[in-house]
Amino acid sequence: MLVEVVFPAVERYGSWSGELEMRTASGSVPVLSVVLAHRSRGAEPAHFALVNRDISARKAAEAQARRNQEQIAHANRLAAARELASNIAHELNQPLGAIANYTSGALLKCQQPTLLASELQLPLERIDEQVQRLAQRLRHLRSFVRKRSHQVRPLVLADVIAAACRLCEWQYQQASIELVVRVPDTLPRIYADPIALEQVIVNLLLNALTASRRVNDAKVVCMSARRSGQRQITLRVEDEGPGVEQAHQQTIFDAFFTTRDEGLGMGLAISRTLMESMGGALSLRADSAKGACFDVSLRTETDCLMPSSTHTSPPPSVIAVVDDDDALRESLVWLLESVGLTTHAFASGDAF
């Protein structure tokens, strides 16, 4: 890199600075390098001065700060999950109740002496649908509370908003507050971490719900998205609550600042930090006519549409079923073979 990049830059501009890796006997060391060209009278051509400063401590501190931020964000998600406990119970209870009903109906039909197998098709299909729905809900909740690192990637904003709304909709129904979402289908994809962005939206929705409960005639919380720049989308969350007092507008994003007796004052602070780590921003609109209005700025892709692949791989002739649970393995084999597929079952990866 010195020969290909640094020295040509020094010869052209007179100096260069940047971060490099120095190899030592015990490994590599990150350094901040400054290279200067000697251009005084009598100086030899291509004579450079190189100064390296060890920045290992700074790099270690930055890595520790990132780990601390991830731990704080994880704690905030766990706190949000506790606040959403009633919604989570409702999300799980609905498919379980449906499964119980269809199962009871199927068992009653089994008592008929002239039962046809086709008569059990509908309840079994409905049970399968509810099982898939329950599994999807559990995967969503597990991914939301799991400790993880940020993975910024292209996303469809409407999908993240829908996931956040599902977590909060039960609370809104119980409070008789309507959650209105206006997101155009023509918006380009955004760059964000899906769980971090969902966490920010959940924090804003819960704050809006709490504020709306303080005003008797507050009926609606509105979430909308629009283009706000060449490669930028603004997601807006507006409520009809009491709003943010003028004296608090400069400190509302400070850590541990809260106007609620039961609040920790970390939701908005963590949300702003998460947005900044994804290259976005979170701000409060000071000119809101009624209630509070928060803007989430997000980076987007270009307007070009990504080509969709039409290639599909042919199904395998033999499907390997690997699971250490006998009942689950046998049920998967039965399910696959019932639709005409050939399977080989293994109790472990080693046996496979």
Q: Are strands 190-192 and 153-155 parallel, antiparallel or unpaired?
A: antiparallel
247 part of a folded domain:
yes
Same domain? For 207 and 142 the reply is no
> How much is the pLDDT for 298?
94
Same domain? For 155 and 141 the reply is no
On whether the CB atoms of residues 220 and 180 are closer than 8 A, the answer is yes
d(CA 150, CA 168): 23
62 part of a folded domain:
no
Same domain? For 209 and 95 the reply is no
CATH of the domain at 247: 3.30.565.10
d(CA 241, CA 213): 7
Same domain? For 126 and 168 the reply is no
Say what the pTM is: 0.56
As a whole number, mean pLDDT of residues 312-324 equals 65
Same domain? For 180 and 222 the reply is yes
329 part of a folded domain:
yes
Same domain? For 124 and 240 the reply is no
Same domain? For 259 and 331 the reply is no
299 part of a folded domain:
yes
342 part of a folded domain:
yes
CB atoms under 10 Å from CB of 17, counted, come to 12
Residue owning tokens 């002496």: 113
> How much is the pLDDT for 252?
78
pLDDT tens-place string over residues 43-64: 566 677 788 888 888 888 877 7
> How much is the pLDDT for 301?
84
* DSSP codes of every residue in 236-259: EEE--S----GGGTTTTTSTT--S
Residue 262, pLDDT above cutoff 60: no
Angle CA(118)–CA(124)–CA(130) in degrees, nearest 5?
155
More confident residue, 128 or 225: 225
More confident residue, 320 or 147: 320
SS3 72: helix
60 part of a folded domain:
no
> How much is the pLDDT for 234?
95
Q: Which of 131, 149, 167 is the last residue of a domain?
A: 149
Q: Which of 94, 118, 149 is the last residue of a domain?
A: 149
20 — phi, psi (to 5°)? Answer: -135, 170
pLDDT tens-place string over residues 65-116: 777 767 766 776 666 666 666 666 666 776 777 777 778 777 877 887 777 7
Residue-averaged pLDDT of the chain: 78
Same domain? For 169 and 287 the reply is yes
234 part of a folded domain:
yes
**Among candidates 52, 15, 6, which has minimal Cα distance to 37?**
15
43 — phi, psi (to 5°)? Answer: -70, 145
Same domain? For 213 and 276 the reply is yes
**Among candidates 77, 95, 200, which has minimal Cα distance to 138?**
95
Same domain? For 6 and 114 the reply is no
pLDDT tens-place string over residues 128-155: 887 887 777 777 677 776 766 678 889 9
The range of the structural domain enclosing residue 100 comes to 67-149
Same domain? For 210 and 350 the reply is no
Number of structural domains, the chain? 4
Alpha helices per DSSP H over 111-193: 121-145, 157-174
d(CA 179, CA 254): 27
Pick the range with the lowest mean pLDDT from 11-25, 59-73, 79-93, 247-261: 79-93
Same domain? For 222 and 156 the reply is yes
59 part of a folded domain:
no
